[in-house]
């Protein structure tokens, strides 16, 4: 899970760098797609972090009943 999270962070960082310093000329549609794709990845990371926190909270509050 941590590996997936780190890969996701790396991809997001790479996409941000690509938008700042493009490796090639992108069409306007490609730029829009890349922004949407990056936003979707950021949302996934946010959801994953929230799920991990919730999972950790559930483990701490686990009862024997």
Helix (H) or strand (E) holding 11: helix 2-20
Place of tokens 């690509």: 18
Q: What SS3 class is residue 37?
A: helix
- Whether 65 maps to a domain, the answer reads no
Q: Summarize pLDDT for 14-49 with one digit per residue, the tens.
A: 999 999 999 999 999 999 999 999 999 999 999 999
Query: What are the respective helix, strand and coil percentages of the chain, to the nearest 5?
Result: 80, 0, 20
> Total domain count for the chain?
1
**Binning pLDDT at 50, 70 and 90, where does residue 54 land?**
confident
- Whether 22 maps to a domain, the answer reads yes
What residue numbers bound the domain in which 54 lies?
A: 2-60
Is the pLDDT higher at 35 or at 59? 35
**65 has a pLDDT exceeding 60:** no
């Amino acid at each position: 899970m941590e590996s997936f999270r780190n890969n996701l962070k790396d991809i997001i960082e790479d996409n941000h760098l690509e938008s700042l310093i493009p490796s090639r000329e992108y069409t306007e549609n490609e730029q829009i797609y890349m922004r949407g794709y990056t936003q979707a990845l950021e949302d996934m990371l946010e959801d994953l972090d929230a799920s991990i926190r919730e999972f950790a909270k559930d483990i701490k509050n686990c009862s024997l009943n």
